[in-house]
Amino acid sequence: MAKTRAKTKPKPLIAIEAPITITAAVSEGESKGPPTFDVVAYTGGALSLVNFEYPVVVDLAGVSFGKSLIANLDHDKTKRVGHVTATTTEEGQLTLSGKVSAATDAAREVVESSAKGFVWQASIEAQPDQLTEVKAGKTITVNGQDFNGPVFVAAKSTVKGFAFVSHGADDNTTVSIAAAAASSKEKKMKTEVKAWIESVLPSIDIEALSDDEVTSLEADYAGREGSRTKPTPKPSNIFAERKMERDRINGIREVANKFMDMRPDDIEGIERMHDHAIETKMTVQDFRNEMYESAIPFHTADSLRPPKRPVKSDVLEAALALTGGLKEPERYFSDQALQTAHDRFKNGIGLKQLYRIVAKANGYNHDDDDVTLDMHRYACGTPAQMIKAGAFSTISLPGMLGNTANKFLMEGWGGGEMVWRDVTAMRSVRDFKQSTSYKLNGYLKYEKVGASGEITHGTTTEESYTNQADTYGRMFAVTRRDIINDDLGALTSIPRELGYGANDAFNEVFWTVFLAGASTFFAGGNSNVSTGTVTLATVIATLTAAELIFFNQTKPNGLPLGILPDRILCPPAEYRIFLQAMNSTATSGSTSEPNTNTFSNNYSVHTSPYLSNAAYTGYSVAKWYLLCNPARLAVIETAFLNGREAPIVETADTSFNTLGVQFRGYHDFGCSLQETRAGVQGSGA
């Protein structure tokens, strides 16, 4: 029925607002003391709260309390009022009692205001330690009440804080503020209160009421009759009434429109508050106050305020990927992140919207429409700067943009030709210095160990080959113009093009090295060249001749090479011919060839247009290559700095007086021809 959420996930506080009863200090023969207060904090029902998707029920059986509950004014820890002395959870409600014990202006304001009839309420914050979700269609019993899903149940929670506030969310609660008096005998009941009691309780003996009973009845009266806003006088005629109502509705719409500009990701919640304000005849000023208060975390339990959860960085990155059209986004993001991004940003996300969301998450408190330099600094600030600024989130915009740009870069990088991976050995180097490897020599063959147990030393040859990594790269920037134009393409299409550019640069270097040395690397003196034309009629004979040359390769010590070829590299003009030879079980049927094709499925076939492109020295439309697995022995080797095969994008803030984010894409690699015995070149003609 219920699904328990992991305790390790951070949860927003549960904010409960309730009435307060403040009782003055006693005197006249009794020991003096500070004023006291009592709060019926919670009566066990469902609360509709900010930052929660569904109503929340706090299970009173699982409530615990912090070590010290200090009462303050308006959730300002510097404005101390007093402390909680007792807590009670029974009969389906939570009650707090305490003393106005602080010697501060805030404490005096609370006491003196209440003495003059000001209505205070309590805002109590509880941390949900175990939050359970009850699905739609299910029912659960908590605090002696039945609740239908969807609803959250805080099975375990800890009361963390308590504040005196001026306005609560529940218009049905009652508040009692006791008059400053010495004892019940000297207490004078207000005439209007006495009249009210007599009207609703005609049989009661008012003179026999105890001090506590009088206080309770006065609280009931104040709660029923009091109001934080004075009723608007009724107009004298129907025309004035219609005009006032029209002005009220137009004023509420103007306020809502302003807040939609300020909080574009919160339009649904603002719409609900707007509709409620019009329906309940709320004044424009009250609606404006509601809107401002709805942006204050942990300060209200207004059932109409939107339960928006903070947008996580993975959701924002997923939204960027979806908006930019990244292929296979499920490779990088969880289903939950993708679904949340789709639901939260149905029409996609823009650069300006992203800036506003991240800047506000990092402590930016202004409501600018365009991205200002100050907003930019908050969005691009370091985690240390954000923590210093008092922000609870440390989302890094450059980091987020960098992650997004890298995904589009990789899409471009992998979208180009990657045949080189099939014919090269890959090597990791630690720096840009020239590295040396020794050639295959055959002098490390194991020898039988004699009775003495001595193992003899092998020898290496003087022959070696070298390789060296270099850096190739480009820069681009998301500029102020891109941000103002809300051009997400600067973040998606440009990195994708950088990926294509990285692929172009790598292939140019790789095939230049491969082809330029072919005339001396593949030569008769190295016993790695074969002749023969490549046509449908001759391909079997040509392959047979080249294969025999490869089989006859030897190590420098004269022993067989011991490695077999397993792949063919050819120019595009011969690709289909070799492919047909590998996929056919029969030959062309000439008298010089057997009818059965013994080469079927023997070799994998790879082609590259770089081999026959006239822009490269050594190109040929006919020459092809029979190669062995490069992981065993390679004609060409590619060195990557620190083993990083793919290019990378890094981000940084632009210069101090420039609004934008810089990106640099770079790739560290080097290519070098290696073992002449690793392949045979066919002339193809």
Q: Which tokens in the block code for residue 161?
A: 């804080």
Decide: helix, strand or coil at residue 39. strand
Q: Which tokens in the block code for residue 15?
A: 């904010």
CA distance 470 to 671: 10
pLDDT (0 to 100) of residue 227: 38
**Sequence letter at residue 509:** V
Spell out the residues 6+ positions from residue 108 whose beta carbon is closer than 8 angstroms to its own: none
pLDDT (0 to 100) of residue 1: 47
Total number of residues shown for the chain: 685
SS3 content of the chain, % helix, strand, coil (to 5): 35, 25, 40
- Spell out the domain ranges in the chain: 2-225, 238-294, 311-349, 418-441+461-492+506-685
pLDDT (0 to 100) of residue 85: 84
CA distance 459 to 450: 19
The DSSP H or E segment spanning 472 is strand 470-478
Strands 176-177 and 14-23: parallel
CA distance 343 to 470: 45
- Nearest CA to 424 out of 677, 674, 680 is that of 674
CA distance 240 to 248: 12
For 182-249, the DSSP string reads S-GGG----HHHHHHHHHH-TT--GGG--HHHHHHHHHHHHHHH--SSPPPPPPSSHHHHHHHHHHHH
CA distance 162 to 673: 74
Helices (H), ranges, 454-571: 480-484, 489-516, 518-521, 539-551
8 Å CB contact between 228 and 166 = yes
Mean per-residue pLDDT over the chain, rounded: 76
- CA distance to 440, 468, 539, per residue, from 552 (Å): 16, 32, 20
Q: Which tokens in the block code for residue 329?
A: 């986004």
CA distance 192 to 462: 112
CA distance 527 to 339: 60
pTM of the model: 0.52
pLDDT (0 to 100) of residue 556: 80
**Sequence letter at residue 333:** F
What are the residues facing 133 on neighbouring strands? Answer: 3, 152
pLDDT (0 to 100) of residue 385: 47
CA distance 501 to 167: 60
Query: Among positive and negative, which fits the CA dihedral 266, 272, 275, 277?
Result: negative
Listed as ranges, residues in the chain with pLDDT below 70 are 1-33, 48-52, 166-193, 195-237, 289, 292-310, 368-369, 381-395, 438-445, 458-463, 587-595, 652-659
Q: Which residue has the tokens 């209505």?
A: 119
